[in-house]
Structure 1
Amino acid sequence: MRLSPAVRVSRYFMPTMRHDPSEAQIVSHRLMLRAGMIRQESAGIYSWLPLGFRVLKKIEQIVREEQDRIGAHEILMPTIQSADLWKKSGRYDDYGKEMLRIEDRHEREMLYGPTNEEMITSIFGDHAKSYKNVPLMMYHIQWKFRDEIRPRFGIMRGREFLMKDGYSFDLDAESGRKSYNKQFLAYLRTYARMGLKAIPMAADTGPIGGDLSHEFIILAETGESEVFCDKALLEFDLTKTAIDMDDADAVQAMVDKVTGPYAATDEQHDQTAFEAEVPEDRRVTARGIEVGHIFFFGDKYSKPFDAKLTTADGEQVLVQSGSYGVGVSRLLGGIIEASHDESGIIWPESVAPFKVALINLRQGDEGCDGVCEDLYAKFQEAGVEVIYDDRDDRAGVKFSDMDLIGVPWQVIVGPKGVKGGFVELKNRKTGDREELPADAALAKLAE
């Protein structure tokens, strides 16, 4: 989806709020409502308004690019699935009341899919029959529904959510683990590109199944669980590490580096081994939020669907599979939890709704209007996403709103600056300000 590079606040739908809504219990929920990013329609179900939708699409695109990078192919499966698929796998009753069950006009049992292991296995099994068809990874980015008994915390624990779920298919378990490792590293890179410190943690497989699983936890003071890890995990950044994702040995070595003896754990596990292995000066205790979960479950789903491949020797074997989920909409809330201050959101540039907020301190002043209109046009020409606050309102209101929505850079134009031949450039994250000519500010932000 192509996002327009520029909007005027006077013509934009951005219903900001001055005060914290009483129903919001956590920072991300509070700030998303105040910034006019979402609107609650019913318990755990939200409309995404223009500002929130822009960020959601930015996050989705990063997830998509990192899946494409490792050779996964994007498809799109329906939200509504046949109950027969789930009965065939034996999981129809596993989800209990979390699963929204539907009966169509022909009295066929249907459901709003919470995940897609059954459907993707059926698709693959019907069409792939030979060892020549693997390895294969496919993914889609689709809305899910889980009827949480107590939806809360805004999009962090809603009933409807946007998710990337990917699936791997391999001839044997060894090959399957290679696909798992590729996804593992793709996840680390995905989160790093969003400005997040994410740590992988060995996890229970739950109703998905299998014996190999990792959760990915981003650190935030408001996180729901306590996490213990080696400082080395926080220093690791895959985006700064060159690695050939088709080199299985190199990929395995990198995964081993991150999941070695100093891997992360949480408060539900025995800390004795962790404290014995990690020197005291390297131990980190923090709060974390889960934003992704990956699984390798072998033939759990290929067995009931009889998904088999013929080997080079003519033998028929069950397909080995894994699944890989990223909470795309949940990530948006997680980023806010990890990056905010008392004034509002602080977006990393990679996912910010706009790169620049252009603030006219005296709308209607010929000099201020002229400089702003010129900059607004030039930002668009340079491909810089800009939101121009052209409202006839007090400067304090404009400063408050632009801080609240968290755009990384603010270009402030006032009568004093126009007279002196400069604009003020503010970094939202650091608060640093500098005065410089308008063209210099443009050149700096267009780099």
Structure 2
Amino acid sequence: MEISAPGRELAAFTVELRALTAELDPGAGWFAAFARRAPAELETWLAGLDLPPWDVVADLVQDLACGAGPRAAREREERLRTGYAAAAAAQDGRPAARDDLLRRVGLAEHAAREAVERGHRLAVAEQSARSAGHGQEGDRLATLRMWAEDDGARHRARLAELHARAAALSAVGAGRTVQRTGAAPAARGAGAPQDGADGPVPATPPPAAPARGARFAAATTVESVPAPRPARAARPRGARFAGLEQPTVRTTGPGRADPQAEEARRAATEFTARMLRMRTAGNNGAVHATLCEAVNGPPGRLPLVVEAMERVGLDAEIATLLWEAAALPPGPVAAIARALAESGRAGQCGQLLRQGAARPSSEAGTIAADLAASGRTDEAVTLLAALVRARRAADAVGAALAAPEVTPYLLRAARGVSEAHHHAVTTELRRAGVA
């Protein structure tokens, strides 16, 4: 019997996917993580019974890059991307495609909410364990929390993909209506979606490959793996973000309020109120986009936004805000960490830096060097200590290879973790010729 169109396209993509996994080490990297955490789903995808989310494909390509090199990975990714787009288009051409997409959207939204709630519970438990002096338990809970945050990030990326496909179907339906009636649909802007609405999207290509390396690169040493990041929103602009674009908050002297500082606080309050309205209305996608706007704004404004969010009980959203901030390039991460520390938010600064330890060790070294150069040596040590806890000593010394000036802080951090860690890091530094 001839295979149906959707089946042909999916079968062709599955051939490429199997060829990719045949070249991977099943006991290492992303492939091992998926086999351990989602064995049934992985079996379904490799059997050609369903199309995997694109983040899974991108992560398997990253595994290939580690073994075969970036050029081979890029060539393979292009073939997979073409096959993925064709398979998705074929799936979306079925009569019940829109209902199926909406069902998947509902499941992804539920899963994303559960991941946020699980991450919040684990963060509270981790803090309690560390306060009670149970460092090992705190480390275990921190790893579980990172997994919960990774899950949430994946579900948000998958939601964006599903919404794009559903919107493309709607656009096709509208185009058919135009052909039948001669009436043109109302024009919509080409920028970010308005609150509660989906913006216009192209047909069904997979999302662009995410910037890799920011999350959980040491997948073989801890249960933490990089998650695809949603596209970053542009810096907030317009009247509703007035005051959020100023780079610093200044005071004019004792007892005198700086108008710019007051305006920044007012803008942060209004910004948070808008986010609270979205959350109350259940518009989770718009909430996440708004968080990304705040993260991509001036670092000096972020503590004001966090303060305003605390006042209205958006604690879970603060955790997501810091998670998004940790995925920024090294320079902005260091700037946000400084802003949080200088505003007296040591706990949130530490949370941000501990998440940053999942980056490649070279990037962690760059951030630590930036912090130390600006006098924030304690924050540099916090980041490096998290790096030492999460990675093998041979990996952790990559921070000093990228930024030799952080070597004394790396040693200080390792000693703070344990004497065994200090010995291991010292040995690897000598082996690398750094110390």
Name the TM-score class by shorter chain. Answer: under 0.3
As a proportion of its length, which structure holds more strand? 1
Instruction: Look at both structures and tell me which one has the larger radius of gyration over its CA atoms.
Output: 1
| Structure 1 length-normalised TM | 0.22
Higher helix share: 2
